[in-house]
Amino acid sequence: MLRYTTDHEWLRTEDDGTLTVGITDYAQEQLGDIVYVELPEVGREIAAGELLVVIESVKAVGEIKMPCAATVRAVNETLADQPELVNSDAAGSGWLARIEPADASALEALMDDKAYQDYLGSL
């Protein structure tokens, strides 16, 4: 099941308990043509609210914050050469990082699909 943050990140729980993080279609549209994605080092522990990924378009910068304290387990290496994947397939091949949360229950506080759609409607 997907969860969403108010910063327009999505998180998907994988079978091994890790979370895959990406940005929503709404977010990629706001940023425009993405030219660069700065990914974290694998193995780094990052506190909740700290910077996870920086996404740059020609005219804007998106800072993707850690939704919960976690360790970076993998990053989407293909974005180094094809940052445009975040535009074309934000929910799929444009994923950013895979993280292992310190506390698995952290997700519960986040929005589900319906809540996120309502949130978008309120903007």
Partner 1 sequence: MSLRDFEMRGDFIRRHIGPDDEQVGAMLDTLGLRALEDIVPRAVPDDIVSHTPLALTDTISEQAVLGYLRTMRARNRVYVSMIGMGYHGTLMPEVIKRNVLENPGWYTAYTPYQAEISQGRLEALLNFQQVIIDLTGLPVANASLLDEATAAAEAMAMTRRVSRAASMRYVVDGDCHPQTIAVLRTRARHFGFELEVGDPATLVAAGACFGVLLQYPGSSGAVRDPGAVIEAAHAHGGLATVAADPLALVMLRAPGDMGADIVVGSAQRFGVSMGYGGPHAAFFATRDEHVRAMPGRIIGVSVDRDGQPALRMALQTREQHIRREKATSNICTAQVLLAIIAGFYAVYHGPQGLATIANRVHRLARIFASALGSIGYEVLTPEFFDTFTLHVPHRARRLAARAREAGINLRVIDADHLGIAFDETINRAVLRTLWTVFTRDAEDELNIREIDAQLEQCLPAELLRSTPILTHPVFSRYHSETEMMRYMRRLARRDIALDRAMIPLGSCTMKLNAAAELQALSYREFADLHPFVPLDQAQGYQQMFAELESMLCDLTGFGAFSLQPNAGSQGEYAGLLVIRKYHEVRGEGARDVCLIPSSAHGTNPASAAMAGLKVVLVACDEDGNVDVADLAAKVTAHSERLAALMVTYPSTHGVFEAAIREVCALVHDHGGQVYMDGANLNALVGICRPAEIGADVMHVNLHKTFAIPHGGGGPGMGPIGVQAHLMPYLPDHPVVDGVNPAAGPHGTIGTVSAAPWGSASILSISWAYIAMMGAQGLRRATLVAILAANYIAHRLRDHYPVLYTGKNDMVAHECIIDLRDIKARTGVSVDDVAKRLADYGFHAPTMSFPVADTLMIEPTESENKREIDRFCAAMIAIRAEIAAIEAGTADRIANPLKNAPHTHRLLIAEQWDRPYSKAEAFFPMGLDEEDKYWPPVARIDNVYGDKHLHCSCLPVEAYADE
Using CB under 8 A, list all residues that contact partner 1: 33, 35-36, 38, 56-61, 83-84
As measured in angstroms, the least distance from the Cβ of 39 to partner 1 is 12
Measured from the CB atom, the residue of 58 and 102 that comes closer to partner 1 is 58
Measured from the CB atom, the residue of 62 and 67 that comes closer to partner 1 is 62
As measured in angstroms, the least distance from the Cβ of 53 to partner 1 is 13
As measured in angstroms, the least distance from the Cβ of 35 to partner 1 is 4
Measured from the CB atom, the residue of 25 and 56 that comes closer to partner 1 is 56
Single out the residue of 89, 91, 95, 30 nearest to residue 62, CA to CA: 30
Measured from the CB atom, the residue of 63 and 112 that comes closer to partner 1 is 63
CA 65 to chain centre: 8
